[in-house]
Amino acid sequence: MRRTLPTLAHKSNNRRNTAIRRALLACLCLLFAADVALADEMLGASLQTKILPDRQTLDDVRRVARPRILPVPEPTDPAAWTQFADSTRKKVLDEVVFRGKAAQEWRTAATRVEFVETIPGGTGYRIDKYRIEVLPGLWIPALLYLPDAVAVRTDSAKKYPVFLQVNGHDPTGKAADYKQARCIHLARNQVVSLNLEWFGMGQLATPGFGHGKLNQLDLCGSSGLAPFYLAMSRGLDFLLSQDYADSSRVGVAGLSGGGWQTILLSSLDTRVTLCNPVAGYSSFLTRMDHFSDLGDSEQTPVDLGVTADYAQLTALLAPRAALLTYNDKDNCCFASGHALPPLMQAATPVYQLLGAGQKLRMHVNSDPGTHNFLIDNRQALYRMIRDQWFEGKDTDFAVTEQSVEADIKSKEALNIPLPDDNLDFVKLALSVSATLPASPPIPESEPARADWEAAQKTALQQIIRLQNWKADGQQHSMSLIEGAEMRHWKLRMGEDWTVPVIEVFHGKPEKSMLVISDGGRSSVTAVVSQLVKDNYRVYVVDVFGFGECQIPERGYLWNLMISTAGQRPLGVQVGQILSTSAWIRESHPSEPLSLMTSGPRTSVIGVISSVLIPAPFAELRQEARLESLKLLLNEQSSFEQSPELYCFGLLEAFDITDLQKLVRVPNK
């Protein structure tokens, strides 16, 4: 017993000591974890430190884009102006509207028109239903308001005015009561109207016709604007193909997006002799100061601003009849006070030069003054039609609209069946992309490969419109976290852009890592912490469109502004990465520099930066990268979500695998 009791006590002490050691170890682990968590929390807070002044990126965009918008030339000679107008129309059509192989093929394709049925209209007119194939495989509905006098005319030589009625962002589409009202009034007064459905509205309100989907065509290298223009011009073709159509009296009118359609078609197609855009557009220069006017993808197409601003397009209407209608309390966009004066200032001198001052009018609606094409605005149009088309003629054209309420029809009554396999923007993009990219094979010999790589890089630079800037770093602040030093920098890139950068390091790093993330600086706390532990000097940067450089409200619209002003958001972002990289290497030339991206959007920026950077990165790391640009071609993806990725023509020449072949560093 005396020998066994100490043994049992010793075992008991061992167990107790072991338990104590485990408890102490657990406490130490908890304390260490708490320190790590606290350090990471402090790091995360520091990464979120505001560096740039309020609205810095917004001001940068405006400063970069504004001087690139073409001004209206001062008209001095009628012949010179006519030559300018003709060349501008051709340039816009060739280089903006029908840019790209597919768009050129659509432009010359045959148009099919199919009659569906006739339904009663009201006293004095009927409604014929048609479907029009605006490009091969894409049909839209159209309603023809045909006056009885035209349908049963006894004088086959008599000609009648025709009007193309377009609509804007109204979910009821062609059935909108204010649109039916003007079609009905004109029909009662012996004017034929064609009421077109608009993409994304009414019967065409499907995900594949969302206006942000047109950029999927841009990505494939063919203008997404082309279907919009063809829908209007094919409708005009149909009207003018009728033997009763008076080619000297051809009109177009529409509200909002319909006003945009009106100015676009009327300025570029001289068959239009009278137009009435209603609260539908303003100059790009105006939009930079009045953000309510910023337009969607179709209204801010690639490179239009460096080809012809809307002020120029307004002047191109001369000497034809034009009524510019705006609303003084517009609760949507294009309020008369700021939108109308610059357009009149641009167009008036041209109309006067051409001796057609009386053909340019404006109308400002005050009752109700909101975004509308109600009776006051409609009757302003009727007065314009009377004065320009019926003055001195026998026809008694009424300018006061009588009640049309009894003739207004439901959207179901106006429905027109379309083919089940009807194309839309997404289906068109998928079709165009089937043979893309058209990349040449890689040569086998090293000298030939070098030439091939150089040519590929040059093509890529041109596609993204790469800009080069000298970065000038200004230290914003500095802090210490658990021995790690954090420096906050403001990088000024030439006279154009300002980018925030946070530098984090501990001790004397031997290498550097540049980090960009879809979620901005605040999303990479754990990544930065680990890289610092791995002895990296880490630079976390927010490029245009991300983190602190993201414009909070409708930022994608400013991406459109950059693109219409002749640059590309993707080129801006890549240029910022290259400039930042050069600044880092100049600051620490002995430390090999690598690049890390987190997320699909920044992965594309990263791989292109790795291709085009003069001195290669030591390494390219990519988390959650985009595997193919073709993954952007679907109903769920849209320009608004990742605007820089829909860079015009990128997929036409390169997919991600093609870009990776040009990157000669480890790609993880």
Query: What's the CATH code of the domain at 650?
Result: 3.40.50.1820
- Kindly state whether residue 317 falls inside one of the protein's structural domains: yes
On whether both 293 and 398 belong to a single domain, the answer is yes
Q: Are residues 481 and 410 in the same domain?
A: no
Residue 666 confidence class, pLDDT cut points 50, 70, 90: low
| pLDDT level of residue 67 (50, 70, 90 thresholds) | very high
For a pLDDT cut of 70, what percent of the chain falls above it?
Answer: 94
Same domain, 501 and 414: no
- 45 belongs to a structural domain: no
Looking at the predicted structure, is the pLDDT value of residue 286 above 80?
yes
- Identify the CA nearest to 358 among candidates 313, 321, 311, 316: 321
Structure confidence at residue 3 (pLDDT): 33
Strand partners, 667: 620
Q: Do residues 397 and 482 share a domain?
A: no
What CA–CA distance (Å, rounded) separates 186 from 245? Answer: 14
Q: Which residues contact 428 (CB under 8 A, 6 or more apart)?
A: 102, 135, 138, 217, 227
pLDDT at 493: 95
Are 277 and 362 members of one domain?
yes
4 assigned to some structural domain: no
Closest to 219 (Cα-Cα) out of 426, 429, 425:
429
**Measured between alpha carbons, how far is 474 from 64 in angstroms, rounded to an integer?**
21
- pLDDT level of residue 7 (50, 70, 90 thresholds): very low
Do 653 and 534 sit in the same domain of this protein?
yes
Instruction: For residues 273 and 258, give the distance between their C-alpha atoms in angstroms, rounded to a whole number.
Output: 17
Q: How confident is the model at residue 39 (pLDDT cuts 50, 70, 90)?
A: low
SS (H, E, C) 262-315: HHHHHHHCCCCCEEEEECCCCCHHHHCCCHHHCCCCCCCCCCCCCCCCHHHHHH
Rounded mean pLDDT, 259-265: 98
Per the domain annotation, does 9 fall within a domain?
Answer: no
Pairing outcome for strands 497-505 and 536-541: antiparallel
Does residue 449 form part of some domain?
Answer: no
Report which of residues 39 and 620 the model is more confident about.
620
Q: pLDDT tens digits, residue range 351-410? A: 999 999 999 999 999 999 999 999 999 999 999 999 999 987 767 899 999 999 999 999
Residue 106 belongs to what domain range? Answer: 70-431
d(CA 512, CA 505) in angstroms, rounded, equals 9
State whether 397 and 518 are in the same domain. Answer: no
**Predicted confidence (pLDDT) at residue 18 exceeds the cutoff of 50:** no
**Residue 155's pLDDT is what?**
86
For range 54-79, the mean pLDDT? 95
Secondary structure (3-state) at 7: helix
Predicted TM-score of the model (pTM)? 0.92
537, 616 Cβ separation under 8 angstroms: no
Do residues 594 and 652 both lie within one domain? Answer: yes
Domain-embedded: residue 619: yes
Residue 350, exposed/middle/buried by CB under 10 A (0-12, 13-18, 19+)?
buried
Domain count, the chain: 2
Q: Are residues 486 and 585 in the same domain?
A: yes
In this structure, is residue 452 part of a structural domain? no
| Residue 39, domain member (yes or no) | no
The two structure tokens encoding residue 133: 């194939």
406 and 473 both lie in a single domain? no
Asked whether residue 20 carries a pLDDT value surpassing 80, the answer given is: no
Average pLDDT over residues 475-497: 90
Residues 136, 264 within the same domain: yes
Which one of 406, 431, 456 terminates a domain?
431
Separation of CA 273 from chain center: 30
